[in-house]
Amino acid sequence: YHLNLASALMANGKPAEAEASCRRCLRIAPRHVTAWNVLGNSLVAQSRHDEAFACFERVLQRQPDDAEALCNLGSLRFLRGELAEAERLQRRAVELNPRLFQAWSNLGAILRALGRRDEAVSCLQQALTLQPHSIEVLVNLGNVHHQQGDHVTALDYLQQALARDGEHAGAWNALGVVLQELTEYAQAADCFRRALEKRAECAAYGSNYLYCLNLFDDWSPEEVG
**Predicted local distance difference test score (pLDDT) of residue 220:** 52
Residue-level length of the chain: 225
Spans of all domains in the chain: 133-225
Evaluate if residue 99 carries a pLDDT over 60: yes
The answer to whether 12 and 6 are in contact (CB under 8 A) is: no
Residue 96's pLDDT is 98
Share of the chain above pLDDT 70, in %: 96
Share the mean pLDDT of the chain. 93
pTM: 0.86
> Which band of pLDDT confidence, cut at 50, 70 and 90, is reported for residue 91?
very high
CA distance 71 to 87: 10
Q: Provide the pLDDT confidence category of residue 68 given band limits of 50, 70 and 90.
A: very high
Confidence of residue 219 (pLDDT cuts 50, 70, 90): low
Task: Count Cβ neighbours within 10 Å for each residue of 65-82 and write b for 16 or more, e otherwise.
Answer: ebbbbbbbbbbbbbeeee
Angle at CA of residue 92, ends 88 and 94, nearest 5°: 120
The architecture that CATH gives domain 133-225 is Alpha Horseshoe (1.25)
